Amino acid sequence: MTTYTKYLTFNTRQEHEYINITLEVAEAIEESGVKDGLVYVGSMHITSSVYINDAEDGLLQDIETWLEKLAPARPDYKHHRTGETNGDAHLKNLIMGHSVTCPITRGRLDFGPWQQIYYAEFDGQRPKRLIIKVMGE
């Protein structure tokens, strides 16, 4: 079995950002030489997420609105007693998840027609890392 690891670093301009990383993941698969296997894509931080969905601007806005309803930015989170002010970002990570595992077939992501991989940042404007781990033959 072959394994290949690649790291990406993001330093978003905004506190919340949704970045389509499908091409970067596909490049890592190509660099790995794996033809049949799996790729794991995971945020290495607890205030950002990785998820799969459609690449449609309206949907991205809907996701942001939905997350703000479920985990709104507000001053009364107990986590803020630590001096941090990102309690909502931690909750958004729990809702969206921190990683995805995707199939590789014939050296490519084996996705449905609209599936894309996104990195979602909920506490940005500082460097954050993501890991891409390709495994297979």
pLDDT tens for each residue of 91-134: 999 999 999 999 999 999 999 999 999 999 999 999 999 999 99
| Helices within the chain (DSSP H only) | 22-32, 57-70, 87-96
Biggest CA-to-CA distance, the chain: 50
Number of domains in the chain: 1
Write the CATH number for 26.
Answer: 2.60.120.460
Token output for 83: 């001096």
Domain extent at residue 40: 2-136
- Which tokens hold the place of 135? 């495994």
Q: Are 29 and 133 in contact (CB under 8 A)?
A: no
If you average pLDDT over residues 67-78, what whole number do you get? 96
Reading the block at residue 19, the tokens are 């970045």
DSSP state of 82: G
pTM value is: 0.95
